[in-house]
């Protein structure tokens, strides 16, 4: 959080150096959690079933079947109770693309008042990765914080992210604060390297962690309002403006049918990550959260699979038993609650480990072996070198 970690003045660092500091800080904060998870299957956030291979679902008689999906990882959870209704590869560490902006917003959004004005400088815009999605911020133009956040949520603008990060104290401080926020949310699969979610070696998250970020963010009325805004006027300089539209296609209905009851929250794309999306919707007094990562190629696939999982979750109702839970953040637990080193099942406790029941799917592999493999994969990802590629587009 602001002011909690001391760093050298970011103005004295190159942007590359700042990103390097961010990677070091991210690794230092994330690795102890990985080690704790590998030590005991009871420490798997949300319950050990979420680290098992295969589709995880506990259907009662008459429960609807899950749709056929191509995504590398996905998760369906009840946004109110936190119960995970079904999942596949929930803790698989994958590039998150712009869905990582949910963590950025959950971290930085409370830091500035809406009406605060900031005149953008060239330094604020330095180091934005080539091929980034941009909202069109211009150096020398003054914007309100409200307008900058509209640029982040609606257009997924990396220029808006970097301006806000500069205001927050620089890239390195922002990255460290995001990693600290992830640790509070007990999102141990997440390694933050840059605040915008662009492709950087070691920048990883998971369907489980992204769902935690969405749930935490939606508790903030401003976060909820921004991610549900379809369009807004954005300054063009000289007293002029232009319209920007939300890139969440389930919200706007562009390319796919708009989803009835959709709240938000955030989509993302890079050439390396593919498409990612976390969506939330409310129907009949129930709110569901769905995260889909890396489905089949094509911009619409991630939205169609999200809509199919939302439909399934609303139809399933009480016909499925939870396979895990979204854990309670450390900052929201009673003081006597267990530390992440001794347990991570939240105040309600994850479903007890038991032999599979009728209609269970995918109880093939779990426990410490799977967790260790996940942790090892994340560590290898941190060490891997950047792969040369062309321009990468994000949205």
Residues 210, 375, 90, 106, Cα dihedral to 10°: -10
Whether 101 is a known active-site residue: answer yes
Whether 339 is a known active-site residue: answer no
Q: In which residue are the tokens 């007890």 written?
A: 352
- Residue (of 275, 181, 265, 188) closest to 223 by Cα position: 265
Q: Which one of the listed residues 98, 132, 194, 344 is annotated catalytic?
A: 98
Residue 346, burial from CB neighbour count under 10 angstroms (0-12, 13-18, 19+): buried
Tokens of 115: 């009406």
Tokens of 185: 């949310």
Whether 230 is a known active-site residue: answer no
Q: Phi and psi at residue 73, in whole multiples of 5°?
A: -160, 145
Ramachandran bin of 195, using left for φ above 0, alpha for ψ from -120 to 50, beta for the remaining angles:
alpha
Q: Which one of the listed residues 156, 206, 344, 378 is annotated catalytic?
A: 156
- In angstroms, the CA 97 to CA 277 distance is 9
How many C-beta neighbours within 10 Å does residue 348 have?
14
Contact between 10 and 124 (Cβ < 8 Å): no
CA torsion through residues 167, 278, 273, 201, sign: positive
Q: Which one of the listed residues 101, 132, 166, 378 is annotated catalytic?
A: 101
- Provide the annotated active-site residues: 98, 101, 156
């Amino acid at each position: 959080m602001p002011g909690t970690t001391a760093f050298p003045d970011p103005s004295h660092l190159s942007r590359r150096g700042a990103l390097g500091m961010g990677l070091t800080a991210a690794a230092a904060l994330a690795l102890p959690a990985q080690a704790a998870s590998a030590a005991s299957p009871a420490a798997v956030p949300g319950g050990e079933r979420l680290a098992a291979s295969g589709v995880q679902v506990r259907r009662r008689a008459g429960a609807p079947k899950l749709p056929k999906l191509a995504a590398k990882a996905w998760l369906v959870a009840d946004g109110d109770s936190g119960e995970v209704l079904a999942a596949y590869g929930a803790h698989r560490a994958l590039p998150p693309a712009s869905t990582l902006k949910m963590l950025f917003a959950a971290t930085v959004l409370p830091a500035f008042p809406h009406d605060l004005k900031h005149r953008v400088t060239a330094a604020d815009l330095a180091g934005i990765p080539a091929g980034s999605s941009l909202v069109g911020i211009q150096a020398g133009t003054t914007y309100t914080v409200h307008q900058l956040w509209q640029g982040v949520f609606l257009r997924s603008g990396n220029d808006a992210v970097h301006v806000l990060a500069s205001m927050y104290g620089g890239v390195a401080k922002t990255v460290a604060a995001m990693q600290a926020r992830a640790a509070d949310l007990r999102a141990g699969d997440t390694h933050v390297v840059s605040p915008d979610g662009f492709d950087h070696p070691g920048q990883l998250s998971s369907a489980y962690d992204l769902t935690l970020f969405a749930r935490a963010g939606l508790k903030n009325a401003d976060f909820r309002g921004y991610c549900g805004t379809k369009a807004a006027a954005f300054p063009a300089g000289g007293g002029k403006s232009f319209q920007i539209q939300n890139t969440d296609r389930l919200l706007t209905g562009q390319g796919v049918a708009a989803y009835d009851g959709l709240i938000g929250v955030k989509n993302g794309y890079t050439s390396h990550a593919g498409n990612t999306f976390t969506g939330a919707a409310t129907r009949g007094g129930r709110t569901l959260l769905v995260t889909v990562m890396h489905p089949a190629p094509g911009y619409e696939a991630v939205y169609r699979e999200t809509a199919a999982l939302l439909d399934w979750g609303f139809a399933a109702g009480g016909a499925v038993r939870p396979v895990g839970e979204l854990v309670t953040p450390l900052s929201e637990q009673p003081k006597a609650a267990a530390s992440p080193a001794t347990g991570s099942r939240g105040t309600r406790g994850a479903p007890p480990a038991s032999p599979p029941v009728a209609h269970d799917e995918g109880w093939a592999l779990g426990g410490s072996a799977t967790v260790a493999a996940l942790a090892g994969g994340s560590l290898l990802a941190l060490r891997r070198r950047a792969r040369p590629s062309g321009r990468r587009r994000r949205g």
